[in-house]
Amino acid sequence: MRSSKLMTLKRAGVAMVAALTLTVTACGGDGGSGGGDQRLDVAVPADASSLDPILGSAGGDHVMLYPLYETLISFDADMVARPGLVESWSQTSPEELTLTLREGLTFHDGTALDAEAVRFNLERAKGEGSNVAVDLASVTSIRVDDPLTVTLELSEPDASLLMVLSDRAGMMVSPAAVEESDGDVSDHPVGAGPWEIVKWNRGQFLRVERFDDYWDADAVRVPEIQFNVIADPTTRATSLRSGKQDVALGYAPADAAELDDESGIQLVRTPRLWVDQVYFDIGSPELKDVRVRRALNLAIDRKTIVQSAYFGLGSPASGPFPDGYWAANGDLAYDFDPDLARTLLAEAGASDLTFDMLLSADAGTVRMGEILQQQWAAVGVTVDLKPLEGVQAVNAYFVDHAEPALLSAFTGRPDPKMAFDVLFSESSFYNVSGLATPGLAEALASTDASLENAERAPGFQEAARAVFENASFLPISFPDNLIALGEDVSGFEDNLLGKPRLLGVSLG
């Protein structure tokens, strides 16, 4: 699977984007800062759970984190590691990774982004309270060799580490800002990204302005971006059509299907590493029996859901990765088999199973919850839906452990091992049970013997089988990423994660 392949959408508007490549932080366009002299208004489905990259809990945070925080490593359209703040890297042994920074890097507050700052950030990301500590579990020590060089010493080979540093763990925060903010910079985010904060009005908008000392002086950047939180997809679409927004993320399939050639809307449709799913607390009384979890998976008609709920703009999911991705799940698939579901529930003594499920209160998620509720009811399972505002629902499940299930999404990670670790590792924030998936650790260990994707892929297929047999979660579908642009927007580039960085975008 490559994000550079643009999939066309019937009746998608007058200015369909012809091709997509992943935005690489190290590569800017001609014309300096460019981007015109207007503010770019971007409608987003939900606010950031936190503007501190190691404390946030929602996958949708990235679109608001990328402008503020540059990552140590970037990646290209094939999800291959590329230079970011780190200009080069080398391995003196499988248990050491040496990073060399670019010269003259600074944070938004003017302090130096040097090797000591990198060590501070990585130690903080590994520390108590961090939601990404699992990503750096293999790092045993961080050594500063000189002002531009850092060496990570590992407990064992870790082929995913470079891509880990392209995600939250690699987002560099000013140490001075951390100290001034008592360890949480969410209200005072100071990074080294292409834009710096102007104002964050929680639940309403985040406004950022161009950072004059950004390391890549040639990168095309609009002078200001405002992310406007509009939870309802129909309202996002209406706001875009009226000209109040320039970009609408999470464009609803129903609204996309209604676009015509006179709309003046550009619609970008791409595959992505995003799976709509139900998170299971596999240690909860209701869901601790694997037969119950398998039954819930078998009771769901995924093909019908993709056609009815997504207008065919996606594909059914039986694991963490879609077909076509190099680390995909192989031939594993959940058949729609309500009879077997009833049998498994009876064997588990759960024919009258009842449980509560958290979910976001937006119309699309509630509708999906109702579909699942109806299909489970057909096999005798009663589910009480608990809709909350998006961030509240996420926190109620992951922080408060309020209910045994959460209907949400997993928005992907740059490396497949990261995805498995984040979703299912015993120590992961997102595995609220803290229980292991049998066979998973052994399968993942085999993926670190090589940096070559072809040699790592069999290990990931074994990992997918372990998750499948344990029914550790309930994958529903891989929805296509739908992003709508106003007619004055140019230079927009999506990526396989479905989390655009907005570098290269111009207005007018």
| Residue, of 34 and 492, whose pLDDT is higher | 492
Quick one: which of 222, 221, 195 has its CA closest to 209? 195
pLDDT tens profile 74-104: 987 667 788 999 999 998 888 999 999 999 9
- CB-CB neighbours of 335 under 10 Å: 10
Query: Start-end ranges of CATH 3.40.190.10 in the chain?
Result: 39-50+193-272+481-507
Residue 391 confidence (pLDDT): 84
Question: Could you tell me which residues come within 8 angstroms of residue 56 by beta carbon, excluding any fewer than 6 positions away?
Answer: 48, 49, 50, 65, 131, 168
- Which is nearest to 463 in space by CA: 451, 454, 476, 472? 472
CATH for 275-479 (3.40.50.300, 1.10.10.350, 3.10.105.10, 3.40.630.30) = 3.10.105.10
Is pLDDT above 60 for 448?
yes
Q: Is 207 or 451 the better-scoring residue by pLDDT?
A: 207
Q: Supply the pLDDT for residue 17.
A: 26
Judge contact between 432 and 342, C-beta under 8 A.
Answer: no
pLDDT classification of 211: cutoffs 50, 70, 90: very high
The number of C-alpha atoms within 13 Å of 20 and in the hemisphere containing its C-beta is 31
Assess whether pLDDT exceeds 80 at residue 35.
no
The pLDDT of residue 9 is above 70: no
State which amino acid sits at residue 381.
V
The region of weakest confidence among 65-79, 179-193, 377-391, 431-445 is 65-79
In the CATH scheme, what is the homologous superfamily, with its name and number, of domain 73-180?
Answer: Dipeptide-binding Protein; Domain 1 (3.90.76.10)
- Reported as type and span, the H/E element at residue 306 is helix 302-309
Q: Amino acid identity, residue 419?
A: A
Average pLDDT over residues 277-286: 98
Write the pLDDT tens digit of every residue in 390-405. 889 999 999 999 999 9
Is the pLDDT score of 43 beyond 60? yes
Tell me: pLDDT of 6 over 60.
no
Separation in Å, CA 90 to CA 95, 96, 120, 151, 152: 11, 8, 21, 9, 11
Give the CA radius of gyration of the chain: 22
CATH 3.90.76.10, the chain: domain bounds: 73-180
Interatomic CA distance for residues 491 and 132, integer angstroms: 32
Span 39-50+193-272+481-507: which CATH code? 3.40.190.10
Structure tokens at 417: 């091992």
